[in-house]
Structure 1
Amino acid sequence: MARKTMAFYPPTPLVMSPKDQLRVEIGPLYVACSIADQHTIHAFEFFVLDNDINDWSDVFFEIKNNSILLDKYSGNVHLCYNFREALIIPVEKMNTAAATDFLSMVFGESNRHEQKHDKLADAKNMVNCYRIRKTILDQAVRHFHLFQGHHIYTEILNSLFARPDLPDTILHIQVYPQSFIAVLMIKGQLHFIQSYSFETSADLCFYLLSILKEHDLRAEDTHIEMSGFIEPHGELHQHLQQLFPKRSFSNLSESALIPEMLESYHAHYFTPFFNPIV
């Protein structure tokens, strides 16, 4: 149900410092665990989940038993949720009832989820409202003595808002197993953020072109910034090369990574899992 497909550890026994933090990112088909400070990843584990999850207690049990990081760490855990049931709402429209109505209109009503929200960067006056399965939160309480949670949209947007070097029109994508997140920003303003499921590279490209069409933009005028599970010489990247003349990978500094990471993967693979700005 949960298979460890990547694991990188320091050459000597890991000694936690007060600046280190255990981050556990949970998505529909993966869990990523890392220990890092503001500048460096010290350890990283990636688990792929089966696509027929019925009981998150089994997932947590398997990962806890197979993770060296979760097995050894007893401090405050930073949980990051990567699920599609999230909406960005202006602060002036935000209250519990309104958020419930908005989420229900877009994603349907549910009594299996708990509603939460994250405040985005102060100057932006926006709130990220989202839902998380109660079973995931129940297991977090059971397995972690202390934890704080936020949604991945909050992480992505605060990071983009903090950058002074954004192109006028940028389409930022983060690719995961069978899903990706797309963010469209124009002149530093958020115009769109959404998660998608996909099976083929053609699916992903279709969604990107649909976003541009909806906003009356052309691919040749849009800078695409890519990170996550994209092979530089793979089919997906070849298709993106054909569509977007302006493109770049969002690479972590090599000094932030464990050297063994770069023996098998490119630096942009790990960018989505290491974002110090929340």
Structure 2
Amino acid sequence: MSAADVNEDLLVRDEAPGFADTPANDSSDRDYVNSLARGLEVIKVFTRRTPKMTLSEVAQATGMTRATVRRFLLTLVREGYVETNGKHFNLRPKILELGFSALSSMDIWDVAQPIMNDLSEKLQESCFAAVLDHGHVIYVARATSNQRINVGITIGSRVPAHCVSTGRVLLSALPPDELYRQLDEITMTKFTPNTVTSKVQLRSIIEEVRLQSWSIVDQELEIGLRSLSVPIRDGQGKIVAALNVCCPSMRITPEDMRTRVLAEALEASNNITRALQI
């Protein structure tokens, strides 16, 4: 089957009665494109920890059949978003266009980038901005220092929210009902001996973060990596992202994080908010 045939097959199946398992009398469900949603699920299984996957691995991760996954992957290959060596599939840089097109229209990143650059230079550490996405965080901006060792997080990196400071800051900004819903969906994967894997404990931590407006995570995603995050607020005071400073543990102590790094990060966050109000 050619890639063109794949596209035609998907279109026919999508328009066929009963293709989407949704009630016909619900207008919101009637507008829901099931094939698009499933295609996005295929894209999302590729992460920093699983950058290359076989067809069977993608099928297992998504819960779809191999035949369905094959059609989606071949379509993505044809469109230039995925490449394959015949056995493994991986995302191509073109996939970032999907996010950059949206981010480029948000003035907040134009405002935040120079402030993040100044923060990184002042602390001589890597700085990032992240947004929440269904139990994960996506890093959407970065600034690196002149240090030989910088944190290897790139724009577009997607990591579980439960074990990073950005995730805890962003989860703390959610209304209670939405927070409980997202926590129900999170798989509490244990990445290091320090990773919090109890949802009861995580809820307690998030409540503390809500009260203090900052979070420090010590080597829960990776051994040797400490991070601190504070909220980024828009001109109306709504939390729209998290500002993050990542530090190798051999370079920055927990006390340094709670004092010098926290003070500088809060000032940078406040500067972003003030600039958005002008």
Q: TM-score, normalised to structure 2's length?
A: 0.31
Larger Rg computed on CA atoms: 2
Higher relative contact order (CA 8 A, sep 6+): 1
In proportion to residue count, which structure has more strand? 1
TM-score of the superposed pair, with normalisation by structure 1: 0.31
